[in-house]
Amino acid sequence: MKKITSGAAEQMASDPQIDPTSSPHQPAVRAGYPRTGIISNSRSHRNRTRGTESVTAPADTADLFYRGPRTLPALAQTLREFRDAGIELLVVDGGDGTVRDVLTCAHGIFAGKLPRIAVVPSGKTNALALDLGLPADWSVQDALEASVHGRTAARSPVEILRGDAVQPELCGFLFGAGAFVRATELAQRTHTAGAFNSFAVGLSLFWGIAQTLFGGHANDWRAGAPMRLQLDDATPAERNFYILFSSTLERLPLKLKPFGPVRAGLKVLAVDAPPKHLARAVPALLRGSQAAWLETAGYRRHDVGAFTLTLDGGFILDGELYEGGTLTVRQGTPLQFVTP
């Protein structure tokens, strides 16, 4: 599936460069740890600011393998090595984009039967880590210790299939179209200005709402994007949507609840364009209000197993922009993630 912007996997380090003096990257190997493969994106925000790109990774041990693939083919080769080595734990040291690329590649290589996964949140955005309750300084050592005690949480990825495909081309956790694309572009600008994680989400949300409220009736934000949306077996809806947002995460940054009460499963928020009563609706939506007037005004929430979407514009999956078309968005098989 073609990206419109450059992806996280292409930005990974050219060597398996991991700082041997830094606790997140030099765990104390001891008996009892699972056989572990570690994929580190040394260009992720936290790793880059620690200067890990200039340091050579420690050598593999019998049960611990370090890699820092730079490209998607190199990532696939690394995952094949891990599969053949029989790893029991896959550690992903990076942000949401790195997790997306690893899960996308791993799905086919492991035939959908992935080992337990541990995320070390070192990216600019770490929504999955936040949902799993991982502390900001969570390390590889922490993940290994937690894995010994069997602490895990199940999360199903969002799988994206194009056309008549039966296997997913992308696996992630945050899907969006319409104003979500514009908001993500704003978030990337806040990263450039030095804002990350929940702070970046807050800034993007504020500016997106401001653009919509004060941009006038001809404003591109208000006009929305033409889409054809079919939820499960329901009658397709073909019109302009202001935003389409979907996720399998249970907790979002800033404790936002656009889908309503916290729950598992694939959730969808579809907002008609132009959005009505936006100044009143946004606070209600974000705090999880279930007031009946929201749906009447065109703010609709759904719990589905899958939906089909056709759109000319692009869509976002975990911070990356991809070309549109006809897509099936579905809830994937639950994966087990190591937690504190």
Report how far apart, in Å, the C-alpha atoms of 97 and of each of 6, 31, 52, 79, 211 are.
11, 32, 19, 17, 26
Q: What was the pLDDT predicted at 186?
A: 67
Backbone angles phi, psi at 263, to 5 degrees: -165, 165
CA-nearest of 15, 106, 18 to 64 is 18
Q: What is the pLDDT of residue 217?
A: 62
* Helix or strand (DSSP H, E) at 158: strand 158-162
Supply the pTM of this predicted model: 0.84
Q: Could you give the residue range(s) of every CATH 2.60.200 domain in the chain? A: 174-317
CATH topology of domain 174-317: Tumour Suppressor Smad4 (2.60.200)
Cis peptide bond upstream of 274, omega within 30 = yes
Tell me: the pLDDT tens digits for 225-271? 999 999 987 889 999 999 999 999 999 988 889 999 999 999 999 99
Q: Which residues touch 200 (CB under 8 Å, ≥6 apart)?
A: 124, 125, 187, 190, 191
pLDDT lower than 50: segments of the chain:
5-11, 13-25, 45, 48-49, 51-56, 191, 193-197
Q: Which residue in 125, 134, 12, 126 sits closest to 67, CA to CA? A: 12
Q: How far apart are CA 63 and CA 29, in angstroms?
A: 9
CA–CA distances in Å: residue 81 to residues 75, 114, 143, 318: 10, 14, 21, 26
Return d(Cα 265, Cα 112) in angstroms, integer: 18
Question: What is the C-alpha separation between 68 and 43, in angstroms, rounded?
Answer: 10
Of 85, 182, 129, which is closest to residue 338 (Cα–Cα)?
A: 129
Residues of the chain with CATH 3.40.50.10330: 9-156
Q: Which CATH homologous superfamily contains domain 9-156?
A: Probable inorganic polyphosphate/atp-NAD kinase; domain 1 (3.40.50.10330)
